[in-house]
A and B are shown apart, each in its own frame.
Chain A
């Protein structure tokens, strides 16, 4: 039987393309989501710092 190396290369090449493409999709999406999470955490820290603490609000007393 002939060796049919072309078919072997086609099968392995196709598998390599599919698996690398899926890995790249996972990698990029993970980076996007990690970046978005970092921004969210940064924003929540900033907004948390600008708001007065509950103890400070209580010490101020009633508004005039």
Chain B
């Protein structure tokens, strides 16, 4: 099953690259640097998804004390931090030729940095507490509190004046992008979602094996 998922993920990523570099045309305003969006936007989607899963799994853990829910939250947070870091890095690389700067303290960039630091803290907290059950309980509370930052990140472009443009895809109402660019983005969304599921499944299994070894 995991091999099948791994194969599907690889195929999805290859299809995403073909869509992003071959099928999608050169964007008329930004030029080819816009192709970074096929990496940047699916990365932030996976970060939102991962932290959403952390929220749900943390609530389940606090209610039922199910170790599997704690392991899922831990695995998902780690993958979420990875993709948030990737979002920040690829956004910065895109920002230099487009905005003329690697970084600016605008609301979107600042709020996503806070999100990154909060979940990094979540992972550090788990590593700092020796008592597994206590660590899981504290992490679950932080996993719930930190999730309040997700809407703040997403809506920051509406609530404050920002250099970062509003969402082009993850918004209600009709889209304004050409169909082929939307298709390329959607293929990459699907591929990155598969990659997220693959990584989380593998990481959660490792956490289970580690718990078995310690028992």
B92: nearest chain-A partner, CB-CB: A11
B90 x A30 contact (CB < 8 A): no
Contact of A37 among B86, B90, B195, B213 (CB under 8 A): B213
Q: Kindly state whether residue A42 has any CB partner on chain B within 8 Å.
A: no
With a cutoff of 8 Å between Cβ atoms, the chain B residues found around residue A15 in the complex are: 39, 43, 86, 90
Known: A5-B32, A7-B96. A22 touches B89 (CB 8 A): no
CA distance A22 to B35 in the complex (A): 23
Q: Kindly state whether residue B172 has any CB partner on chain A within 8 Å.
A: no
Determine the main DSSP class of A at the interface with B: helix
With a cutoff of 8 Å between Cβ atoms, the chain A residues found around residue B35 in the complex are: 8
With a cutoff of 8 Å between Cβ atoms, the chain A residues found around residue B213 in the complex are: 33, 36-37, 40
Q: CB within 8 Å of B: which of A37-55?
A: 37, 40
Contact of A11 among B30, B93, B210 (CB under 8 A): B93
Q: Kindly state whether residue B36 has any CB partner on chain A within 8 Å.
A: yes
Instruction: Give A contacts to B, CB under 8 Å.
Output: 1-5, 7-8, 10-12, 14-15, 18-19, 22-23, 26-27, 29-30, 33-34, 36-37, 40
Q: Mind listing 29 A-B residue pairs with CB under 8 Å? A: A1-B29, A3-B26, A3-B31, A3-B32, A4-B97, A7-B33, A7-B36, A7-B93, A7-B96, A8-B32, A10-B93, A11-B39, A11-B40, A12-B36, A14-B89, A14-B90, A15-B43, A15-B90, A18-B85, A18-B86, A19-B86, A19-B195, A22-B82, A23-B199, A26-B206, A27-B202, A33-B206, A33-B213, A37-B213
